Structure 1
Amino acid sequence: MKQIQYIDRESGQLCIEKIPGEKWLKWLYNKPFGRLSLHYLIKRKFISSYVGKYMDTRKSTCYISDFIRNHGIDLLEYKKEKLEDYKTFNDFFCRKIKPSARPIDDDFVSPADGKILAFKNIRNVKEFFVKGASFNLEEFLGSEELADKYKDGSMIIVRLAPKDYHRYHFPADGIIRKANDIKGHYYSVSPLALQKSLRIFCANCRSYSILETQKYGDVLYSEVGATFVGSIIQTYAPDSHVKKGAEKGYFAYGGSTLVLLFEKGKIQIDEDLLENTANGLETYVPMGRKIAS
């Protein structure tokens, strides 16, 4: 299997992603016994819940220093600057960032630190994921009405790797509605897994809410869980007016994904994101950077 490449938007460089547990993931998704383990065990909630609970214990702090060193994380960007300030691995994983480390740009901004795929029309998604089954909007949302509302619109996927800052924010000002939870499994959202099928998003546990904006219409904002993601935590007040850059919630331990859906003609996604996606590449963009207008 070829290496996973992406574009770092700020430097313009083509980078190779370092995937935690890469050999294990390749075995799970490419070998017969691995696929059996995935289907009958790894995708189950109790596995992710068990790992999540362990990461809430004091014993889990032993993993923090190696994680920081292996992934080049700068603690000075975060509100807790010292290793000893973190009481559990999840305390570190859900760390809060200093506002100065993520300035908020004008227009529509990235809701999280992550690698972006952008589609001007949702119908074009199947052209990117050639190897996988088609992305079914009605199945993803669990609603025929919502699927019809966004079927000809645009979509942005923001994939958070385990090393990323794991709080997510509002990409625009607006009124945010109550979150709707959809039960599901806990497949990995690693690019090694997504190469197989984007239908993982339709199978995993997920949550969505509507951000009503004056400029961009009703933006559907969905959080998708993954293997070892113990929880999707919403920290906002439903039916309240929110400001761009304010925190919406966070993921507990693991990699995870945000999916943003837009009504037809309501947004213009930045051309470099569309072009990179068309070339089969994700683009890494920090939270708060402009991604559309």
Structure 2
Amino acid sequence: MKFEKIKYIERKTGEIKEEKVMGEGALKFLYYNPFGSLLLNTVVKRKFLSEIYGKKMNKPESKMKIAGFIKEMNIDMNDYARDINEYKSFNDFFYRELKTGARTIDRTESVLVSPADGKILAYENLKEKDKFFVKGSEFTLEEFFSDKELAKKYEDGTFVIVRLAPADYHRFHFPAAGKISETKKIKGYYYSVSTHAIKRNFRIFCENKREYAILSTKKFGDIAMIDVGATMVGSIVQTYKENSFVEKGDEKGYFLFGGSTCILVFEKDKIQVDEDIIENTKNGIETRIYMGEKIAHEKK
């Protein structure tokens, strides 16, 4: 498979843009070179490497990296609650909080919103995934959930992927109001979830460390919310109260350093994803969205 720059559609303007990827050279080596692949599958995917780097990003001296990262990734700090000098480490900056009102949450009851800032892909049926990913990447919901009953429940349902790049806001939220369950953790590896990686191997979502909870809603059925760790993501931190009622837009948790992914899985015929997102996915391109922005509505 040929290495290509990651392109996406900026939803607000309709422009096709090229993503600025942190460590793109390393990703190219690991996922498009046989020697890199060997290193990836023997060392890089292991927990210890991500833990070591995560601890390094927690040290006070790591805050020296913040200014350069902001400049390189063109991050608009006007959206965030704290000034650059107020962060105690790079990780403290990485899971930074938004200013109040920095994101507009669509409060319409029949509307489902994005749980995070990122690039989105949506499949009304998982069988359609081969239009974007390499054919033959074996993926089953049973393996993904590590649960046969859940796999049956969501069979032929809608599958939504929101990919967070390292430059994105790394807290994630609830896409609708409802009762949220406890978190279940599934052990796994720490492969990158960059488009470079998942285009070659969709099974990464079955192999990486992940956590899931079920959000029971009136309008959209039971939504499976899966938070997926990745290379250099030392931890997934859940900040919500288990088995409680939550409002749309409430914080669910955050990722520590690295790129990460939020996945939403819906029961069959419960939602209708916005046409532009579906069309872009069919054309093999992600759509840039923001937390609180409408991505779907209740299916009548």
TM-score by length of 2: 0.96
Q: Counterpart amino acid of 2:77?
A: L
Distance 2:295 2:199 in 1: 24
Q: What is the match of residue 104 of structure 1?
A: 105
Distance 1:74 1:30 in 2: 32
Q: What is the match of residue 60 of structure 1?
A: 62
Q: Does 1:149 align with 2:153?
A: yes
The CA deviation at 1:136 is 1.4
The CA deviation at 1:132 is 5.1
The CA deviation at 1:99 is 2.8
Q: Is the 8 A contact 2:132 2:199 kept in 1?
A: no
Q: Which moved more, 1:65-74 or 1:267-276?
A: 65-74
Question: Residue 244 of structure 1: SS of its match in structure 2?
Answer: coil
Q: What is the match of residue 185 of structure 1?
A: 189
Q: Counterpart amino acid of 1:36?
A: L
Distance 1:99 1:282 in 2: 28
Structure 2 counterpart of 1:237, from 237, 241, 245: 241
- Aligned residue runs from structure 1 range 206-221, under 5 A: 206-221=210-225
Distance 1:285 1:135 in 2: 26
Q: Which moved more, 1:162-171 or 1:136-145?
A: 136-145
Gaps of 5+ in 2: none
Cα distance per residue 1:181-210 (max 9 Å; x no partner): 000000000111112111011000000000
Distance 2:136 2:55 in 1: 33
The CA deviation at 1:119 is 0.6
Cα distance per residue 1:157-216 (max 9 Å; x no partner): 000000000000000000000010000000000111112111011000000000000000
Question: Residue 100 of structure 1: SS of its match in structure 2?
Answer: coil
Q: Counterpart amino acid of 1:241?
A: F
Cα distance per residue 1:222-276 (max 9 Å; x no partner): 0000000010000000110000000000000000001100001111110100000
Distance 1:118 1:195 in 2: 14
Q: What is the match of residue 48 of structure 2?
A: 46
**Count of residue pairs the alignment pairs up:** 292
The CA deviation at 1:36 is 1.1
Distance 2:28 2:198 in 1: 12
- Aligned residue runs from structure 1 range 76-91, under 5 A: 76-80=78-82, 82-91=83-92
Structure 1 counterpart of 2:144, from 127, 140, 144: 140
Gaps of 5+ in 1: none
The CA deviation at 1:88 is 0.1
Structure 1 counterpart of 2:261, from 257, 264, 269: 257
Q: Is the 8 A contact 2:187 2:208 kept in 1?
A: yes
Distance 1:285 1:156 in 2: 12
The CA deviation at 1:128 is 2.4
Distance 2:117 2:190 in 1: 21
Q: Counterpart amino acid of 1:99?
A: T
Q: Counterpart amino acid of 2:219?
A: K
Q: Is the 8 A contact 2:8 2:18 kept in 1?
A: yes
Structure 1 counterpart of 2:35, from 27, 33, 36: 33
The CA deviation at 1:123 is 2.1
Q: Is the 8 A contact 2:131 2:284 kept in 1?
A: no
TM-score by length of 1: 0.98
The CA deviation at 1:76 is 2.0
Question: Residue 274 of structure 1: SS of its match in structure 2?
Answer: helix
Question: Residue 179 of structure 2: SS of its match in structure 1?
Answer: strand
The CA deviation at 1:131 is 4.2
Distance 2:54 2:155 in 1: 35
Cα distance per residue 1:80-100 (max 9 Å; x no partner): 0x2110010000001000131
Question: Residue 273 of structure 1: SS of its match in structure 2?
Answer: helix
Structure 1 counterpart of 2:173, from 169, 178, 197: 169
Cα distance per residue 1:75-127 (max 9 Å; x no partner): 221110x2110010000001000131101013100000010000111222233
Structure 2 counterpart of 1:196, from 191, 194, 200: 200
Distance 1:212 1:242 in 2: 10
Q: Counterpart amino acid of 2:245?
A: H
Q: Does 1:223 align with 2:227?
A: yes
Q: Is the 8 A contact 1:131 1:195 kept in 2?
A: no
Question: Residue 101 of structure 1: SS of its match in structure 2?
Answer: coil
Question: Residue 268 of structure 1: SS of its match in structure 2?
Answer: strand
Distance 2:284 2:142 in 1: 25
Name the % identity: 54
